[in-house]
Amino acid sequence: MHLVAQIAFIVLTIVAILLFARKAKEIRANILLGRDEDFSDQPAERWKNVLLLALGQKKMFRKPIVAILHLAVYAGFIIINIEVLEIALDGLLGSHRLFARPLGSFYPAFINMFELLAVLVLTACAIFLIRRNIVKVPRLQWKELNGWPKEDANIILITEIILMLLFLTMNAADTTLQQRDFAEYGQHITGNFFFSSFLHPLFTNTSSETLMTIERTCWWLHIIGIFAFLNYLPYSKHLHILLAFPNAYYARIKPQGKMRNMPEIQQEVLYAMQPETAPVGDTAEPEHKKFGAKDIFDLSWRNLQDAYTCTECGRCAAACPATITGKKLNPRKIMMDTRDRMEDVRANIKKNGTFTDDGKTLLRDYITEEELRACTTCQACVQECPVAISPLDIIVQMRRYLIMEESSAPAEWNSMFSNTENNFAPWKLSPDERDKWAEG
């Protein structure tokens, strides 16, 4: 029987890893549809970002209570899964509580720590479910979350609660069987674990055979749940559990308010302001370079990674002055639309072998001009994002395309552009007369 269980576990593990690897490879290919961008500078500062933003969740602590709950879920779920290492080795080797004997008296302390974290995760997830479905926090109710995004969040929270309950029930059944010195359980006397011991009264009248079935069922459901969760992540907003780390490392570390200018345009402005620096004589026309972004292929791989890292928490939208005053712009929707476009492009590639023009682009078919023009570039969305995402970078690149490739801009903007080009300022005043306001 043990041999059959081992074989079943090995097959399950291999299938789970292969399925996850296949989807992870697809997501990586989607991200690499973007153009190249270099982030090799200042590695020390980047590792600092990983520690503060991804591990320490620094930005979350602007609201301490929610931050502590989120940290309990995040750290708890990650640390508890260290216990999965023992479960996995038990499954592969056909053993039971493999680490109990080598760790000796330290083993109960470790399991008690895991159980404490399990209770914290369970409590925090229950509170988050209440906030989403009963209290109904406004930013979690907006229309872009209708349908699958809202269901996704609830599925994840409920799954985490079930996994924690399975873990505690498994431990309670195990320690009860140890006390009864039943079968192999009597060979590993670990003593009771604090939190799971509160479940012991439930098993008082349960036969040892039934209790063993409960313990084994919880063991299998827990590991199957972990593997299912692993393969659910790539289809869920909770992919940020993994991508938060590279996203924090590759975050832009220049001053937040500093816009990234295009060298070609800067050079033209320099020639206009200092004509003597312009090249003279016959010069070859430079090859036209597309300005800005119309589709995901024009964005950088970092922009596309942002889209996959988005937690859909809505903190960006709740802080956006355009969103909260009723404009169509919503930074969260910008990221969700970019991700949707990548998924549609991947479906196209799967169908045709290579990307075939589908008559759609990120601009207009997914994100409208009205949304883009509502942005004030105030950086509020960038400031609020807990995992270093920049919806603004995508917005600015798409606006550049509209203006510089299609000459599409509101009349007020065109007037400002014309004045800047001719008068070197947004106002319709000659540079020679600009100081006359001070007369008298």
Query: What amino acid occupies position 135?
Result: V
Fold of 263-276+288-430: Fumarate Reductase Iron-sulfur Protein; Chain B, domain 2 (1.10.1060)
**pLDDT category, 373, cuts 50, 70, 90?**
very high
- Do 2-249 and 263-276+288-430 show the same overall fold? no
Position 1 scores a pLDDT of 59
**pLDDT category, 182, cuts 50, 70, 90?**
confident
Domain 2-249 has CATH 1.20.950: yes
Give the domain ranges of the chain: 2-249, 263-276+288-430
Position 94 scores a pLDDT of 82
Of 322 and 261, the structure prediction assigns the larger pLDDT to 322
Of 313, 250, 239, which is closest to residue 53 (Cα–Cα)?
Answer: 250
Percent of the chain with pLDDT over 90: 55
**pLDDT single digits (tens) 74-99:** 777 677 767 788 888 888 888 888 88
Percent of the chain with pLDDT over 70: 97
Q: Is the pLDDT of residue 279 over 60?
A: yes
**pLDDT single digits (tens) 185-214:** 877 778 889 999 999 999 999 999 999 999
Query: What Å distances lie between residue 251 and 49, 256, 347, 424, CA to CA?
Result: 8, 11, 29, 33
Q: Which region, left, alpha or beta, applies to residue 429 given φ > 0 means left and ψ of -120 to 50 means alpha? A: beta
**pLDDT category, 314, cuts 50, 70, 90?**
very high
Position 3 scores a pLDDT of 80
Q: Which residues contact 149 (CB under 8 A, 6 or more apart)?
A: 237, 312, 336
